[in-house]
């Protein structure tokens, strides 16, 4: 059960004062109040009221530790301020001071404390099988894909320090360059990774957007992200009625393929792309066996030049798509445009993206060999050759025939999600397992590495 704690009213403080031409009066703070926010144990609000208008920031740190100090966002709300502190470690006491800047001076309050509650027991059954505290320095973003699911962040100590309950069944989540989290959710009537609602949250718990795609005639699946201009981009299903009598099918046969949809923050449709416009279904000898999921696009990301990277699981291919014209610039993988040694062919792949080193990185599910791998490549788009940069075979116990992800961490380690074993791993560059978290049922979709942007 989540509890609400009402904490102390603070007034009549002593202050540290650093002033300009004028002096700040000691009574400039009318009151301050710390309280849990919105029935969320890992989120606190500090309410501040002052007699003079100015900007306010909160400086806070774990009471038992020295050295790591956190600074809140700046509030410019005149004389009444409400600032949310998050992420926070469960069960910890924090010390905080309030810093007020006016036109004339700056003043900082004496330190005070508040106590953080525990993580709700039903949030996740996650447990660490192995943990190395030096493996990563930022946060890990995970999602719990239950009917009333959640997304949560894990810090470098292996603790959940932030969570957000979602109204429906979480399908996939994604950290954005804006320090927000996009979530695709649906219900049990939608396919495994499909949903109708895209919702965004910042770390204070504020909802930054909410788009219902079903109202616009779409169902999204596998991916929600932001394009280079900050618009919302999603993979969506695209249904076409085709004459398949030449293939042994019907004259008016429904075929479900994939599209890319871009919307502004208000839900206005800006751009649409369909696989049907760039690949002829009648040229696929296996079409009749895949009428309800032709090609199975399962990942979408933005390349460094602003164009799109699109993964088709069933074709064992990654496509690069021009973000303006929709032209397919190249295909990488089985039967694609690049020369590739047969030992490096990937199958059923997920999570294609351009990593920080400029390499094309993916999680190779290895459905054909029943062996999952982490792969990254340098692609020469003039000579159309591919050179491997990372090739890491996962132990057999971490084979994943579906879903999964692999991302570089900024210290060179690799964050991996292997859904069938319900594991989140952190590997060093040699492939040795540094961290292994068991996250329980249902299978996780992926894990992302998060580094807060200033």
Q: Is the peptide bond before 442 cis (omega within 30 degrees of 0)?
A: yes
Do residues 276 and 392 share a domain? yes
pLDDT digits (tens, 9 = 90+) for 104-138: 888 898 888 999 999 998 999 999 999 999 999 99
pLDDT of 9: 29
What CATH number does the domain containing 23 carry? 2.60.40.10
Do residues 38 and 187 share a domain? no
286 Cβ contact partners less than 8 Å away, ≥ 6 residues apart: none
Do residues 111 and 131 share a domain? no
Percent of the chain residues past pLDDT 70, beyond the cut: 94
Residue 10's domain comprises 6-115
Give the pLDDT band (50/70/90) at residue 22.
low
pLDDT of 178: 93
pLDDT digits (tens, 9 = 90+) for 284-304: 999 999 999 999 999 999 999
Do residues 109 and 137 share a domain? no
Structural domain includes residue 384: yes
Do residues 77 and 199 share a domain? no
pLDDT of 1: 24
346 Cβ contact partners less than 8 Å away, ≥ 6 residues apart: 316, 333, 362, 364, 365, 366, 373, 375
Residue 450 CB coordination number (10 Å): 20
Structural domain includes residue 47: yes
Do residues 293 and 366 share a domain? yes
Lowest-pLDDT choice from 36-50, 204-218, 289-303: 36-50
Domain boundary among 115, 146, 162: 115
How much is the pTM?
0.91
Do residues 169 and 71 share a domain? no
How far is residue 12's CA from residue 3's CA, in Å, rounded to a whole number?
29
Structural domain includes residue 364: yes
Task: Indicate if the pLDDT at residue 399 is higher than 80.
Answer: yes
Do residues 366 and 291 share a domain? yes
pLDDT digits (tens, 9 = 90+) for 74-101: 999 889 999 999 999 999 999 999 999 9
Do residues 338 and 276 share a domain? yes
Do residues 89 and 166 share a domain? no
Q: Is 281 left (phi over 0), alpha (psi -120 to 50) or beta?
A: alpha
pLDDT of 452: 83
How many structural domains compose the chain?
2
Lowest-pLDDT choice from 8-17, 226-235, 347-356, 384-393: 8-17
Structural domain includes residue 259: yes
Do residues 173 and 45 share a domain? no
Using an 8 Å Cβ cutoff, are 34 and 54 in contact?
no
Structural domain includes residue 1: no
Mean pLDDT of 231-254: 96
């Amino acid at each position: 059960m989540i509890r609400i704690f009402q904490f102390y009213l603070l007034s009549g403080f002593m202050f540290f004062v650093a002033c300009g031409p004028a002096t700040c009066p000691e009574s400039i703070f009318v009151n301050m109040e710390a309280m849990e926010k919105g029935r969320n144990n890992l989120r606190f609000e500090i309410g501040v009221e002052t007699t003079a208008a100015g900007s306010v920031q909160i400086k806070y740190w774990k009471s038992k530790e020295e050295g790591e100090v956190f600074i809140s966002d700046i509030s410019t709300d005149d004389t009444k301020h409400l600032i949310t502190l998050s992420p926070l470690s469960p069960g910890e006491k924090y010390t905080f001071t309030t810093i007020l800047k006016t036109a004339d001076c700056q003043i900082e309050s004496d330190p005070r404390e508040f106590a953080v509650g525990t993580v709700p027991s039903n949030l996740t059954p996650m447990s660490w099988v192995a943990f190395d505290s030096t493996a990563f320095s930022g946060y890990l973003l995970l999602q719990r894909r239950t009917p009333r699911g959640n997304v949560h962040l894990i810090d470098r100590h292996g603790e959940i320090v932030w969570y957000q309950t979602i109204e429906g069944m979480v399908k996939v989540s994604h950290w954005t360059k804006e320090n927000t989290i996009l979530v695709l959710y649906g219900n049990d009537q939608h396919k495994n990774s499909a949903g109708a609602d895209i919702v965004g949250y910042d770390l204070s718990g504020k909802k930054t957007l909410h788009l219902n795609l079903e109202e616009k005639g779409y169902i999204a699946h596998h991916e929600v992200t932001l394009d280079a201009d900050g618009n919302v981009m999603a993979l969506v299903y695209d249904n076409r009625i085709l004459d398949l009598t030449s293939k042994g099918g019907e004259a008016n046969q429904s075929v479900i393929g994939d599209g890319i949809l871009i919307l502004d923050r208000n839900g206005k449709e800006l751009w649409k792309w369909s696989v049907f416009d760039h690949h002829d279904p009648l040229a696929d000898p296996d079409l009749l066996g895949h009428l309800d999921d032709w090609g199975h696009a399962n990942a979408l990301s933005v390349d460094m030049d602003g164009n799109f990277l699109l993964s088709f699981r069933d074709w064992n291919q990654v496509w690069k798509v021009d973000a303006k014209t929709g032209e397919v610039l190249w295909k990488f993988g089985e039967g694609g445009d690049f020369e590739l040694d047969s030992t490096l062919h990937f199958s059923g792949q997920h999570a294609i993206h351009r990593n920080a080193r400029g390499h094309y990185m993916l999680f190779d599910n290895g459905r054909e060999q029943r062996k999952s791998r982490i792969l990254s490549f340098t692609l020469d788009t003039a000579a159309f050759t591919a050179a491997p940069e990372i090739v890491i075979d996962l132990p057999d116990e971490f084979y994943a025939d579906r879903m999964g992800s692999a991302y570089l961490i900024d210290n060179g380690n690799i964050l991996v999600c292997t859904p069938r074993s319900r594991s989140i791993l952190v590997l060093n560059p040699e492939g040795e397992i540094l961290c292994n978290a068991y996250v329980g049922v249902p299978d996780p979709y992926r894990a992302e590495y998060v580094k807060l942007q200033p």
